[in-house]
Every structure is written in structure tokens, then in C-alpha cells.
Amino acid sequence: MQKLSAAIEKRVEDLLSRMTLEEKVGQLVQVDLYKIPDFETAIKEGHVGSLLSSFDAQNNNRFQKAAVEGSRLGIPLLVGNDVIHGYRTVFPIPLALACTWNPDLVEKATRIAAEEAATVGTSWIYAPMVDISREPRWGRIAEGAGEDPFLGGRLAEAQVRGIQSAELTNGWQIVACPKHYVGYGAVEAGREYNTTDFSERTLRDLYLPPFKAAFDAGAGSVMSAFNEIGGIPATANAFTLQTVLRDEWGFDGVVVSDYTSVAELINHGFAANMKEAARLSILAGLDVDMMSNAYLDYLPELVNEGTVPIEAVDRAVRRVLQLKFRLGLFEKPYVDETLAPGIILKTESRDAARETAEKAAVLLKNEGGLLPLAPNQQKQKIALIGPLADNKEALLGTWAGQGQPEDVISILEGIQGVLGEKAELTCVPGCDIKGATAPDFGPALAAAQAADVVIVALGESADMSGEAHSRAIIGLPGHQQALLDALHATGKPLVGVLLCGRPLVIPRMAEQVGALLLAWHGGVEAGAAIANLLFGKSNPSGKLAVSFPWTEGQIPVYYSHKNTGRPIDQGVRQFDEEYKSFYLDVPNTPLFPFGFGLSYSQFDYSDLRVETPSVGVDGTLVASATLTNVGKVAGEETVQLYVRDLFGSVTRPVKELKGFQKVTLQPSESRTVRFEIPVSTLGFIGLDLKYTVEPGDFKVWIGPDSASGLEGSFRVV
């Protein structure tokens, strides 16, 4: 965020000098207004610095009035809300947004969410979630950008820009809060809130880069995580909160705990009681205590007894006050209560949600060109079958903000909107999502037998992913696979539509359907987007931001793995490779790899040129390839560049994404796609745990995904 003027800095110091200890501590306290009695009195007495989950403009103005006009110093409140993938206009879940590989589109979606959230007085948005995760059993993989730190970093920057846009309609300013700092995506066994264990090198190479990208984009706050790092919980981890964040990166924003994570230091076995939890957190560099009330109850006592120096409290309070000035809350504390109707669910916002849902969907299979279906074929008989065929709530996905099911276009409604009276469309659920009741497949099979083509909409409900929704078995829930088995036995052409909040284990489904469209949980316009894709009004262009495993036993499976001392070629065991690193029963490779996604166009890659076969450590790698649309329709391709450092003082992954470009081509059109990659970005955390770029031999690939492409080489000198 912008730097403060000398005049504002003077105002901050003046306020700080006039505050009592209790008023200072109050600025470090965040509470849910429904959790404490006589809330307005607490605000007027200076015991509350920020609100949590307050979505009503009138209430927020009332509480602001209590702070600004009713308290001794008139310091306004921050209003913090979770706005993860839309406010009322719900966009695809963040993992789906990542599959667009389109930072500009993600920034636009995030800005629309901020526009809507601002209408109720939101000044602090707890997003983006930038946790890198290779663990699909973990429900919160839905909230992040997938498995790769490079892609995750580019999308983190975009979301910060969207949230912190200086041009919101009502003149409001909102601060982004990247989370969860740090390593939360590494939870063991994919179980929510579980422990984590990784080296400092992994921390610095994998988990920290997206946070650094978010801060470089100007993020003004950050949220600490629930997990531990090296045996020390993130909420009281001085290494990550002070050494890395403040000393190395120079971050001057606010650090807020996750919900009650200060109190949870006791459960971790790190603090004996709440007083000790408060002391450990403030000394480690945590500024704001969300919902534990440990600071409120114990910080004054800790300061008065000399256990916590007043300077530690002052530093935290200063950062909170600076943030409030940066947001303009002292000049404009109240929100215009008349703005919401003109901003919430605008036509333009819904159009953007539909475009995003179309570009987030990934075509995983299209055998024999089954898709797109012909929308103009008279009296085409279509059976739409599955528990998600006419389900609105599931399409909202996890953390759907203020989204309402009645806002959603279902798949049935989307197809009806495309086809009108041109087809005979029958819709049958076939079974429920979770298998709560014994299924009767009879009506579904009858509909399938009478149809020319069957569209099968299967997957997860909204409450099967997200926070506290880990799953050990991540196949199709309930009786859905049995339904698909029965439909497959009819011999009818099957088009699968998969709606989910995580990568699922679906090898059987992928084999049985002729075409498979991964539509995720796509938001309020999901049904319209899916229909447009199925019937060729839009051309799929999404690419996976996370690998899909064959089975849970493969997890974690990701493209940028290490080679090991006993690798096997292409991830598939050969007959003479008995003592190598492989499974006896499944491939090493994923079912669908990172970066993968088909189109109704066909793209040909040719003429790889490495223009800098020898390049200095301060130079730029330049490589290009020719992309040609050899298909019959215009299409968009995401061209990806990967490198491998063949030999290093520390072992390196077999591939690392270092660049990507979106290219749209007409049929028969060709274009040279050229990458200029600073060699300074090809380094890693070396033996001394410092970032380094080492001279040596590299491979480079330009292609459509992480598992294929044209291969070349270069040397860093």
C-alpha cells in the first residue's frame, strides 16, 4: 500500500502518545460482534479495534459511530470479512480461478468482489489464500492456487491488486490479507489443522514465494496460520513473523492471527495458559489477536509486570493505526448505505462471472470429438442425469460469501437457455450426492435409454471441501460411481461434467465417459458457462493448476518432484527396472498432470529455438516456439515454459514452471511465442539457505502442459 506522508506519520505518533495502555491493547483486539455482550459499550471504551464477519451496512455504520464519535480518541474500526471468491456475485472457487492461468481475469473477479464487499463497509478482506498445496485430501486446497509457487505467485499479485484497487465505486479502500502464513498446505495426511513438518529450504523454496509476491504487489496485512513450523506454531513463530517477514523482507503491515489461534497455542502444548499465549504471540511479532481475547485480558498485566515491554505493544498499535490512515478511515469512516442495490449482482458482474467460469473449466477428455454437442440439431434427445444436474447450492462452493442459491443458474437452466425448444431434454437426479438414501437407478436408466446422448453431472456438494472438510477417500461420493456404471452399461454416449472443490480420484469415470469437462464449483453463472462449453458457444481453455491422482495412495503427486537416485523413465515402470522408485500397481505419473487441458481447437508446437544457448547469471534466457492452430475453430492456448537445473549443490526438481503466455489463434493461424526469462529467477535456496543462481547445464521445455512439449538446452555461465 502507499507510504504515509510525514504529516500522517505525525498524527499516528500523536495518537499513540495520548493513548492509555488499555486503549492501545484495544486496537489489537478483533472480535465477532455476536460473541460479546454490550458490544457498543466495549467499542466506546476503546476495547475493540476491529470487527469480524459484520456484513450489514447499517450495523457497521452504527459501530463506527460508537468508535468515532463515542470513544475518547475517535479511532475508527477496521471491518474484516472473508471474501474468498466473490461476495454476492460468486465466482468459481480459487482453485478453479487458478485454472484460467489468467491474472488479468482473476484481478477483475477479485475487484468485483471487493466492490460488492465495500458496500457494507468492509475494509479488510481475508484473502487471497496463497498456500501451496499438493494435498487434495485437504479441504482448503479449494481456496488456493494449487501446487505451483510460480503460478501461485502471479495469481497472488493479481488478487492483491484487485482487492486493494484504489478505484472502487464508493471511493472505499480495502486492504488484502494473504493467508495462511505459512506452510498450512503441508498438513499431514491432508487433515485440517494437522501438524506440518518441512525443512527451512522447502519453506523458502516452496511456501514463502507466493507470500513474497503478494507483499511485492502491496498487500498491507497478513494472517498467521494454524500450523507449526519447525515445532513452533505460526502464531508465535519469531523466525517467520520477525526474521523473515520484518527483517529480511521489510514488511511494515499488520499481522493478524487466524481465528482463536492465539488460544490454540495451549492445545499445541506451546503455552501453558492464555496469559503465556498472549506474551509469546506479541513478542514473536503478532499484532492483532482474532477472537481469542488473550490480548484484551492479559496484555495490560504483562506490560505492567514488565514481562512484555511497552515498545512491543506500541509497534503493533502503530502498524494498526498506520493501516487505518492508509485506508482513509479517519476521513471517511462511514459507508454509503444506498450504494448496494446498484453494485450487488450487476449484469456486468454476472457476465464476468460467466466468462470466468467458462475459462476456469478444464476439458480433460474428448474422445472422437464428442464435444461440442450440436445445439441446432432439431429434436435431439438429451438426458441430463446426476445429483448435480439441477443443484444450485453446490455450484456456489465453499466460502461462498453472501451468495444465495437463488442467484445461481443450474446446469439444467443453463442447457435450457442454450437449447430452448430445439431438443427433448430430460433431467433425472439418479441418486443423492452423499449416498444418504438407497438409490433407484430406474428413472435415470430409462431416460438414458431414450436419449441420443447422456450428460452426467457428478461430484461434490459445497460442504465437502473447504475449511474443516478433509476427506480421506476422494472418489465420487455416495452411489455416484454406481450410477455411472449403470449408465455406461447402456452403451449410450456419455458426457461427464465433474463439479468439485478438489482433485478427485476418478480413473473409472475418466475411462467410462467419452468426454469429461471439469467445471469445479463454478459460482452463480456456472450452469450457463457449462452449457456454453458443452454446446460450443465457448471453447474450453482452462489448464489444471493441480495434478489429479490415480489413487489416494499416490498422494502427494505433483509435477515438480525430485528425480531420486533410482528414477524410472516417464514415470512408468519398465520390465528391467525392478529396483527403481515406482509403484507395483499404479504409475508414478498423475491421471491428469499439472498444466493439462484440451480445447475444441488443436494446437501444434514446432520450431523450438533457444536464442541464448549460453547466458550469464545476470542475463536473460530467450526461447521461442511456433504455435499453430491446426483445428477448425478459433481457440486460446496457454503456452508454458519449464526449466530443469540438471546439477546443483542442492538437488533440483525435474521441472519448474518459469513462464506462461495466453495466445488466441484462428484456424490455420501461426504465431511465434517468445519468452524472456531473467536468469535471476532460475535460482534456489542453496547450501547456506540463501538464494543463489548457480552456473551449469539446464533443460528447457515449451509446450501445452508439464508432461509434454518441445525440449531444448542452455548453459548458465
The residues annotated with a catalytic role in the active site are 258
Element (H, E) at 639: strand 635-645
381: cell is 434427445
Closest CA to 546 of 313, 706, 714: 706
Yes or no: say if 312 and 282 are a contact pair by the CB < 8 Å rule.
yes
- C-alpha to C-alpha distance for 128 and 285, rounded to whole angstroms: 21
- C-alpha to C-alpha distance for 484 and 526, rounded to whole angstroms: 22
Yes or no: say if 363 and 597 are a contact pair by the CB < 8 Å rule.
yes
Residue 70 identity (one-letter amino acid): G
- Per the omega criterion (within 30 degrees of 0), is the bond before 429 cis? no
Residue showing cell 488478487: 159
- C-alpha to C-alpha distance for 489 and 36, rounded to whole angstroms: 59
Would you tell me how many other CB atoms lie within 10 Å of the CB of residue 299?
A: 28
Closest CA to 268 of 302, 308, 228: 228
Q: Which residues pair with 495 in a beta bridge?
A: 455, 515
Q: What's the angle, vertex CA 491, arms to CA 489 and CA 497, rounded to 5?
A: 85
Question: What is the side-by-side strand order in the sheet with 635-645?
Answer: 614-615, 710-716, 696-703, 635-645, 656-665
Closest CA to 519 of 85, 100, 43: 100
CA distance readout (Å), 412 to 263, 388, 389, 425, 455: 47, 9, 6, 9, 10
Yes or no: say if 623 and 609 are a contact pair by the CB < 8 Å rule.
yes
Cα-to-chain-centroid distance, residue 465: 13
Residue showing cell 502518545: 17
- Per the omega criterion (within 30 degrees of 0), is the bond before 180 cis? yes
- C-alpha to C-alpha distance for 66 and 76, rounded to whole angstroms: 9
Residue 132 identity (one-letter amino acid): I
Q: What's the angle, vertex CA 79, arms to CA 77 and CA 85, rounded to 5?
A: 165
Q: Dump the DSSP string for 154-166.
A: HHHHHHHHHHT-T
Cα-to-chain-centroid distance, residue 344: 23
- C-alpha to C-alpha distance for 400 and 235, rounded to whole angstroms: 26
Give me the count of residues in the chain.
717
Residue 668 identity (one-letter amino acid): S
Three-state DSSP string of 178-222: CECECCHHHCHHHCCCCCCCCCHHHHHHHHCHHHHHHHHCCCCEE
Yes or no: say if 470 and 137 are a contact pair by the CB < 8 Å rule.
yes
Yes or no: say if 131 and 467 are a contact pair by the CB < 8 Å rule.
no
595: cell is 498444466
435: cell is 449416498
